[in-house]
Structure 1
Amino acid sequence: MVDVPRELVQYVSRLLAAERRTRGTRTGARALTCFRQALMVLVWFRKGEDVALLGAGFGISRATAYRYLAEGITVLTTQAEDLHTALRRVADDGWSHVILDGKLFDCDRLTETTLSVKGETIDAWYSGKHRDFGANIQAVARPDGLPIWTSPAMPGHLHDLTCAQTLGVTAALNWAATELDLPTLADSGYEGAGQGIKTPVKQNTDGSRLAPDNRFYNRLLRSLRWQGERGFAILIGRWRTLRHTTASPRRIGDIVTAALHLTVNIQVVREE
């Protein structure tokens, strides 16, 4: 039993069936039907079960379970919109702005190293800010908190602004502000991100109090941004596997994107 709508299982099943037709898979050649494979994928997302134990529960080997799971993630990821399309849709729906936020998704420790800005050898996937290993994921959300797009995974040692610039997120948001009249609200970690990306005014270095207009601006920004920053909480609260993954951290971006697509489809099912 898994507490997701049956319509969602059927939707994922149809995606898997289309994938099998594309690959030319013969009828009866797979250990699981499309429906049961979809169910296995959703159990993993919803409960974060160990893949080997999950495979045993469905009567398949560990290797087959990993292969079926990877296939399920892939078919879901390919359904996701690119950022420009998602921004156009938000503007067409009449929303006034979007929210930009980043999060470190927890993963196991890796041996991959890189050089810091000071030239020192550091763990590529270790975040000094969070004091944990993980992948940095950027997300753009509607004002009501529902994410519309999530990014590929970036090494955890990188800051949010660096990730957003490297992935072209800031450039897309600058375009949206100019062409779609769709500004972006973000926290102070994105200061200097460019036109249309609104960040708080930082405190004075001498410790003096901000001017009244700057304090009011920050208060207004917080009041508009807080709900949009629920986006990651919506995903993690619904899909337990996002709380910690033993998969390659470079795959975390695909896993989060797949989880977002599932979340959006649950919203559609409920509205219908």
Structure 2
Amino acid sequence: MALGWMWALGLYKSVVLVLFLLRRNPVQAAAAEMFGVSQATVSRRWTALLPVVEKVLARHVPDPGEASAGRVVLIDGTLIPTWDWASEGTTMFSGKHRDTGFNLQAAATLTGGLLAVSAPVPGSRHDMHAWRRSHFPEAFAEREGMGDLGYVGSGLLTPRRKPPGQERSTGDKVANHAINAHRAAVERAIAHLKDWKIFATRYRGPLTRFPLVAKTVTALAFYKKGWFYNGTVFCSAGVPMLLSGGWVEGGGGYRVRVGCGVWGAWWYRAARVPGVGVPGRFGGVGVCLARAASRGKGMSSTSTRGRGVPV
């Protein structure tokens, strides 16, 4: 996809726009008003750059098996509400939540640290189905795990059901209380994941595009917490800094490289390609840094430093 029209908003602000749409989930007309562009421009930026952002951040998503080594894994599901598309019938309707949406499975540690997020399945499917469809059973096969009553029979440690026509014994009540007290950590992890309002409020886009949205938000959540996979990590004042990272192919002949600095510092290098113009700055969330460059011959590059713009 050609990015020759990117000059209308600038590459940096275009990425900030995409992140803003993920973070706050406004209608595109409202975002257009805030960024001083048309709704059509917002739509084009969203379509063109969301896959690029996901590619850049994919290397920051840790392998679930490695990340969970030596830890107890907590599993829970959540519904990401969507529009009630008539063409989908009752496929997306969750009887449990009385709403339409996608079922996402999340894995976390006992301290509430996010470990993994599954691919979405229609909201009409039970947590057990979503668990079996995900990569979790294989990734956490050697780990101790906990889940709620929806995962009875999965091999996870779950609360005990109430016997038919009887009351729970004191032992069952104590055991259930202990399990639920530990499981609260995964609910906190899901709550933090839903700081990205496109998960917390109703997703209005095409359902076929939601898996990409889910992967991008998951990668952003790991990136914000300082996860770096297959790279060198340093921390300064509690903020991660990436000193080694590969180039990721974008659209229109662009390559993107991500880094980050301390307390919102960012840097970039823009390369001029004859007939295309200077892409501008490629930014991110809070301390996110980025570097954008173009492939080809006859390029003159410029670089600068400044303050990042938190979303």
Q: TM-score range by the shorter chain?
A: 0.7 to 0.9
Q: 1:84 Cα shift?
A: 8.2
Structure 1 partner of 2:26: 49
CA offsets per residue over residues 222-255 of structure 1, 9 Å max, x none? Answer: 222112221221122x222322110123433332
Structure 2 partner of 1:171: 138
Preserved contact between residue 61 and residue 219 of structure 2 (Cα < 8 Å): no
Q: 1:130 Cα shift?
A: 0.9
In structure 2, relative to structure 1, the CA distance for the partners of 1:234 and 1:107 (3 Å cut) is same
Residue from 22, 25, 50 that aligns with 1:73: 50
In structure 2, relative to structure 1, the CA distance for the partners of 1:72 and 1:130 (3 Å cut) is same
In structure 2, relative to structure 1, the CA distance for the partners of 1:84 and 1:159 (3 Å cut) is farther
The one-letter code matched in structure 2 to 1:89 is: A
Matches within 5 A, 1:187-226: 187-194=148-155, 197-210=156-169, 212=171, 214-226=172-184
CA offsets per residue over residues 7-40 of structure 1, 9 Å max, x none? Answer: xxxxxxxxxxxxxxxx7856x7543322111211
Structure 1 residue runs of 5 or longer lacking an equivalent are 1-22, 114-121
Structure 1 partner of 2:80: 105
Question: Whose strand proportion is higher, 1 or 2?
Answer: 2
Matches within 5 A, 1:1-272: 30-78=7-55, 79-80=57-58, 85-91=63-69, 94=70, 96-113=71-88, 123-173=90-140, 175=141, 177=142, 182-194=143-155, 197-210=156-169, 212=171, 214-236=172-194, 238-242=195-199, 243-268=201-226, 271-272=238-239
Count of matched residue pairs? 228
The one-letter code matched in structure 2 to 1:231 is: A
Task: Please tell me whether Structure 1 or Structure 2 has the larger radius of gyration of its CA atoms.
Answer: 2
In structure 2, relative to structure 1, the CA distance for the partners of 1:29 and 1:37 (3 Å cut) is closer
Structure 2 residue runs of 5 or longer lacking an equivalent are 227-234, 240-311
Question: Whose helix proportion is higher, 1 or 2?
Answer: 1
In structure 2, relative to structure 1, the CA distance for the partners of 1:211 and 1:164 (3 Å cut) is same
The one-letter code matched in structure 1 to 2:65 is: L
Would you identify which runs of 4 or more consecutive aligned residues in structure 1 move more than 6 Å? 81-84
Q: Percent of counterpart pairs with the same letter? A: 24
Give the distance between the partners of 1:224 and 1:148, measured in 2 at CA. Answer: 16
In structure 2, relative to structure 1, the CA distance for the partners of 1:45 and 1:83 (3 Å cut) is closer
Indicate the RMSD between aligned Cα atoms, in angstroms: 2.7
In structure 2, relative to structure 1, the CA distance for the partners of 1:189 and 1:29 (3 Å cut) is closer
In structure 2, relative to structure 1, the CA distance for the partners of 1:90 and 1:80 (3 Å cut) is farther
In structure 2, relative to structure 1, the CA distance for the partners of 1:144 and 1:73 (3 Å cut) is farther
